[in-house]
Chains A and B, each alone.
Chain A
């Protein structure tokens, strides 16, 4: 199986603080991999490097054999790496549909003049985009909220809308930052099924940052553990569960 994303020895320094230290990380095609670790381990920072928000101070990132280390965030998003945010960042005063249409920005072609003149081509394009947005909203299960403002949706629906917005980018890789935060166990279970569906029906590779171990263990094919910016373990859920260094990072060292 080939890798969609290959990050090699990525380091991020904020002044003297090394938030991420020489981390290697691959995302294989059509798989679910997770990144876990205690708070402040550098997980979200690593996410931000992958999506171009931060530039790594060392190392490189390949996407389908293309170097994307120095690409600006909007380029990275438009070539197929989409993400959601830990604290929901929807466009609150835009409708669910508009949220998705914004994500289609890079795929749509109409410019200033064709929008002003509302050429047949532009109208066709808009209608097609709206239809596609509806299809995605239906897919994530919030199809009835097309014309509702994002800020009016319930918490769970806002989470879904974030995923829908990411899907509107037609990504190959989806990065989910703590998607089950604030969900109860039933909702988390629904989410696990949803992630599986995404991989199967949307042909996606998914990378997950998650604190809910039940979710992580049941959905991931591979888990990577970060602690204080360093990769301390990597392997299948079973390997990680029994790794003494992981236990130590999470629970502290047992007294001798």
Chain B
């Protein structure tokens, strides 16, 4: 008789929260207190800055946020989305619009973090987060409504289209039917700092911002795990397993898929706002197609459907992309006196990783427990078949 799976017990819910807080607390302590400490040996200080600079950790966390959102669409509901960067862009511009001097002819302040004399719209960061999330969710539904009737490959193609269109609109947004919505290629520079009560977190408060991003990520993990176990999560899984059977069992396909788009896009919006505060501005050229693929690679590499796998995948890939490869190249070049531009091999490396993963570890680094079951069984099957063939 099969036992009740442990994941249904509430205790394990608390377990992850404790583990997460400890890991997050250590990270925070390192970057907030240990690095600025005068007694720290110079070697360690330089090693950390070369291999794991504070900015890289924060950026990784933003990628984690995005990847978690994409995981709901791709991993939970099984809908291939190649245009996820669109939500990142929309979230980013929400921050640009509501937290800067972009609308210089207005003077709106709402618990903002800058002086009342500054022009533009200055809404509190935490509220902009929510606004960005909801605006993205709305766009998720708007994009999803016409496209979700399509199946697999066709859906992927249309999402790819939207993933191109929306960033292009912002890229050329200096004159959008007569309105300037994005400053075009110049971008919206200087986004308001994050108010956390006692102080405002500017561009160089990496440690405290790390804490803010950790908190946002924790919220998304929590939401992902809770939704997964509820009525909606089951319906998503059922659609991933067998769409037709799901509709025959009373699951409204459109509404359920739209819900996954909306929740995924909401997380994308959080990521967009967070990224804008991380780089202290919104730049249209940052939102390109490669990001969508990059995020998808994180979800696939880490393990579709498993939040911990996705977090790992996002961390590893964004680290390799932003820091790891460059740092490795520098060390390698000084060691052997060569002059190889390692950073230019990023895509070669990613391509290689994806191919190898598909060949040898299709379920990802930390697979979802359900999928592990299938892949192990398949191995058993081929083993027994091979044995039979030998006989």
Residues of A within 8 A of B (CB): 51, 53, 72-75, 77-78, 82-83, 85, 89-95, 98, 101-103, 105-106, 108, 110-112, 115-116, 118, 122, 126, 144-149, 151, 165-166, 168-169
Specify which chain A residues have a CB less than 8 angstroms from the CB of B259 in the assembled complex: 112
- A115 contacts B251, C-beta separation under 8 Å: no
- B253 contacts A116, C-beta separation under 8 Å: no
- B234 contacts A74, C-beta separation under 8 Å: no
Cα(A126)–Cα(B230), bound, Å? 8
- B1 contacts A112, C-beta separation under 8 Å: no
Specify which chain A residues have a CB less than 8 angstroms from the CB of B371 in the assembled complex: 93
Name A51's closest neighbour in chain B (CB-CB): B248
Kindly supply a per-residue 1/0 record for chain B positions 58-83, scoring 1 wherever the CB is within 8 Å of any chain A CB and 0 otherwise.
00000000000000000000000000
Cα(A74)–Cα(B373), bound, Å? 30
- A105 contacts B251, C-beta separation under 8 Å: yes
- A94 contacts B263, C-beta separation under 8 Å: no
A-B contact pairs, 6 of them (CB 8 A): A74-B248, A77-B250, A94-B234, A112-B232, A116-B223, A169-B250
User: Which residues of B203-244 have CB atoms within 8 Å of chain A's CB atoms?
Assistant: 222-223, 226-227, 229-235, 237-238, 241-242, 244
Specify which chain A residues have a CB less than 8 angstroms from the CB of B230 in the assembled complex: 110, 115, 122, 126
Stretch at the interface among B2-10, B161-169, B284-292: B2-10
Find B1's partner among A90, A95, A144 (CB 8 Å cutoff): A144
Name B219's closest neighbour in chain A (CB-CB): A116
- B247 contacts A93, C-beta separation under 8 Å: no
Q: Does B142 contact A (CB under 8 A)?
A: no
Find B241's partner among A92, A115, A148 (CB 8 Å cutoff): A92
Q: With A91-B242, A110-B230 as given contacts, are A74 and B247 in contact (CB-CB < 8 Å)? A: yes
- A89 contacts B245, C-beta separation under 8 Å: yes
Cα(A102)–Cα(B253), bound, Å? 12
Cα(A51)–Cα(B248), bound, Å? 7
- A94 contacts B238, C-beta separation under 8 Å: yes
Find A77's partner among B1, B231, B247 (CB 8 Å cutoff): B247
Name B222's closest neighbour in chain A (CB-CB): A116
Specify which chain A residues have a CB less than 8 angstroms from the CB of B231 in the assembled complex: 101, 105, 108, 110, 115, 126
User: Which residues of B353-391 have CB atoms within 8 Å of chain A's CB atoms?
Assistant: 370-371, 373-374
Cα(A116)–Cα(B231), bound, Å? 11
Please give me the 3 A-B residue pairs with the lowest Cβ-Cβ distance, nearest first. Answer: A115-B230, A106-B250, A77-B250
Cα(A83)–Cα(B245), bound, Å? 10
Cα(A78)–Cα(B249), bound, Å? 7
Name B1's closest neighbour in chain A (CB-CB): A144
Q: How far is the CB of B269 from chain A (nearest CB, A)?
A: 15
Q: With A105-B250, A149-B370, A165-B249 as given contacts, are A94 and B237 in contact (CB-CB < 8 Å)? A: yes
Please name 10 further chain A to chain B contacts, defined as beta carbons within 8 Å, in addition to the given A91-B245, A94-B234, A94-B238, sorted by A numbering: A77-B248, A83-B248, A89-B242, A89-B244, A95-B5, A98-B237, A106-B252, A115-B233, A126-B231, A149-B370
- B245 contacts A115, C-beta separation under 8 Å: no
Q: Does B293 contact A (CB under 8 A)?
A: no
Q: Does B246 contact A (CB under 8 A)?
A: yes
Specify which chain A residues have a CB less than 8 angstroms from the CB of B4 in the assembled complex: 146-147
Specify which chain B residues have a CB less than 8 angstroms from the CB of A102 in the assembled complex: 234-235, 237-238, 246, 249, 251
Q: With A98-B237, A145-B2, A149-B370 as given contacts, are A115 and B227 in contact (CB-CB < 8 Å)? A: yes
Q: How far is the CB of B258 from chain A (nearest CB, A)?
A: 12
- B373 contacts A149, C-beta separation under 8 Å: yes
Specify which chain B residues have a CB less than 8 angstroms from the CB of A51 in the assembled complex: 248
Q: How far is the CB of A77 from chain B (nearest CB, A)?
A: 4
Cα(A82)–Cα(B247), bound, Å? 11
Name B235's closest neighbour in chain A (CB-CB): A105
Find B245's partner among A85, A112, A144, A169 (CB 8 Å cutoff): A85
Cα(A145)–Cα(B227), bound, Å? 24
Name A149's closest neighbour in chain B (CB-CB): B373
Q: How far is the CB of B236 from chain A (nearest CB, A)?
A: 10
Specify which chain A residues have a CB less than 8 angstroms from the CB of B237 in the assembled complex: 91, 93-94, 98, 102
User: Which residues of B19-62 have CB atoms within 8 Å of chain A's CB atoms?
Assistant: none
- B238 contacts A91, C-beta separation under 8 Å: yes
- A90 contacts B245, C-beta separation under 8 Å: yes
Please indicate which of the listed interface residues B5, B226, B230, B233 has the most CB atoms of chain A within 10 Å of its own CB. B230
- B241 contacts A91, C-beta separation under 8 Å: yes
Kindly supply a per-residue 1/0 record for chain B positions 84-99, scoring 1 wherever the CB is within 8 Å of any chain A CB and 0 otherwise.
0000000000000000
Cα(A148)–Cα(B2), bound, Å? 6
Specify which chain B residues have a CB less than 8 angstroms from the CB of A103 in the assembled complex: 249-250
